[in-house]
Amino acid sequence: MMNKEFFKRLTDAHSWLGLIISAVLFVVFFAGSISLFRAEITQWSMQPHFSVSQGDPLPLSEILASAIKGVPFDAKEHLSVRMPEEHMPYYRVYVDVEHQPDEEDHLAFFIDPVTGEKIAEIDRFYLSDFIYYLHRDLNLPYGKYVVGFVSLFFFFALISGIFIHARKLIGSFFKYRSKDNTRSKLLDMHNVVGVMSLPFTLMYAISGLIFNLVIIYQIAFAIVLYKGDQQALLDDAGYEEVIVEWLDEAWQQPKIDSLMQQTTEKYGSTPTFIRIYNYGDESAVIEFFGAGKNSLIDKYEIAYQVKDETVLFTKDLDNPNTLVIGLHAISTLHFGNYAGFDLRILYFLLGMGVCALIVTGNLLWIEKRSRQRHQSLKTLKFVRNFTLWGSGGVVVATAVAFVCERLLPAGLANRETFMLYSFIATLLLTAIILIFNDNKKHFLGHLLTLTAGLLVFVIVLDWAMFAKSISLLWQQGIYGVIGTQIGLAIMAIIFALSGHKLTDENVNKTEEEYDSTLDKATSTN
């Protein structure tokens, strides 16, 4: 079955589909790799604007009372709290508010754990969330499904790549022809990165598909196996929904803090997320979510009736549901948060490796097609521009978003919108300049050099605007801001070196001479 024709058809499909999905896939992997440090970037964004109070933290009940003060809280909905963690010294509370159909249904605040004061609105510091949403759904309506289908084709590209490369998998594993022509170098880089990152990319392809396209199987199962009873399927899948009826009677001495303590002792770890239904009413229910010691599979969810502390339901390793545990394990693997910081560095390097895999794959396609006489020049030009725009354009736009995030005052109305516009405007500007630029390799080099410059500018701005605050944070043992700066500096060096390599006349001249000699030799033969 696996004859020459089989490999040819598969190679064709691999290169065409790879090309079609490349720009979106690059965005997903680039934004996803940065999002591994989402907590650090959030802290870098907001922390220098605010001080960190010293002292004993207030109990949860007081934080909740403070959260709803002065806002049109809709008590018949939820009140949710994310607890302070390593890179976030504040509570993050999400208050459902009374609203008109076209208005926002909730408000979100940072709350100081010592004073109980509302520090700022969470949405003002949107950069890390924006990059994460870019990874998750491209910040577009129905983008989740677009990313899902791109993941499907990515999975196909991986499996077809294994078939194509299988015969040379072992023999050519350490092959890298650094002194040969451009095509050989690109091909070796594409193969080596592809093979080395395979377990990682397979995990990402499957988990991405499960997150984004599970709805297809959910619908099929609900219709065929459960005869349309969606709730029965959700019950079997371990999904519990809290439904409580509003009694309109004020609660009497709710023991929220005691329930919090009880849950922490039961599982040996503080809950990370808390949600209250019907806050203030006798019918109130509180739900705690957290992760146990063995964090790859060990998570818990427990709901109590507040008035008498009875447990409504529990989901943990003592009451296992394979689907819930399995999905939690897949999610933990995907986000790389089951081990330390070093694991996230490894994930980041692999993610950037996949970005290189995508770009080299496209360059290989362009290189191969440009040697074919019947290939349309317009198609080649479009693919070349699209590849450059999808990679270099996104990289430089992200750096501009970092500059805006730092420059914009914390109190500015619609601060997040300005940051968003800066990203889109940079992408548009890159596309326009790209059309009028003939030397694409140099252009990419200049984009990377510009990105390096912007990242250095961000660090300079940090110290020019917040030197005192950053030093104080360091003294208080809060290293997230300087840590992010170190990350930005390393990325600036990498981009500067890559930019220099692409714009270096001597390197390019040698490669071009070599390629032209090879072309002549090929045409003579």
Partner 1 sequence: MWSKSIAAIIGGCLVSISVMLNLNYLLPLTVDSRLFIGLLTAFPLWVTTMIYCYASKSGWQAWQRCGAILLVSVSLNSFFLLT
Residue number, 333 or 408, with CB nearest to partner 1: 333
356-394 burial code (b ≥16 CB/10 A, e <16): bbbbbbbbbbbbebeeeeeeeeeeeeebbbbbbbbbbbb
Q: Is there a contact between 279 and 314 (Cβ–Cβ < 8 Å)?
A: no
Which of 52, 114, 237, 408 binds partner 1 (CB under 8 A)? It is: 237
Q: Is there a contact between 276 and 312 (Cβ–Cβ < 8 Å)?
A: no
Residue number, 220 or 311, with CB nearest to partner 1: 220
Residue number, 200 or 304, with CB nearest to partner 1: 200
Residue number, 10 or 296, with CB nearest to partner 1: 10
At a CB cut-off of 8 Å and minimum separation 6, what does 375 contact? 369
Please give the residues from 318 up to 347 whose contact with partner 1 meets the rule CB under 8 A: 321-324, 326-327
3-state secondary structure of 118: strand
Which of 224, 243, 413, 435 binds partner 1 (CB under 8 A)? It is: 224
Residue number, 327 or 419, with CB nearest to partner 1: 327
For residue 163, state whether it binds partner 1 (rule: CB under 8 A): yes
* Least Å from the CB of residue 314 to partner 1: 15
User: Closest by alpha carbon to 386, among 397, 378, 398?
Assistant: 378
Residue number, 238 or 292, with CB nearest to partner 1: 238
For residue 9, state whether it binds partner 1 (rule: CB under 8 A): yes
How many amino acids of this chain bind partner 1 (CB under 8 A)? 36
Please give the residues from 137 up to 156 whose contact with partner 1 meets the rule CB under 8 A: 149, 152, 155-156
For residue 461, state whether it binds partner 1 (rule: CB under 8 A): no
Which one of the spans 208-216, 267-275, 298-306, 467-475 is the region binding partner 1 (CB under 8 A)? 208-216
Residue 151 CA to residue 370 CA, distance in Å, equals 28
- Enumerate the β-bridge partners of residue 85: 88
Residue number, 205 or 358, with CB nearest to partner 1: 205
For residue 12, state whether it binds partner 1 (rule: CB under 8 A): yes
Residue 245 CA to residue 432 CA, distance in Å, equals 57
* Least Å from the CB of residue 419 to partner 1: 35
Residue 229 CA to residue 280 CA, distance in Å, equals 34
Q: Is there a contact between 343 and 325 (Cβ–Cβ < 8 Å)?
A: no
In residues, how long is the chain? 525
Which of 216, 425, 490, 507 binds partner 1 (CB under 8 A)? It is: 216
CA contacts within 13 A on the Cβ side of 383: 26
Residues of this chain that bind partner 1 (CB under 8 A): 5-6, 9-10, 12-13, 16-17, 149, 152, 155-156, 159-160, 163, 205-206, 209-210, 213-214, 216-217, 220-221, 224-225, 236-238, 321-324, 326-327
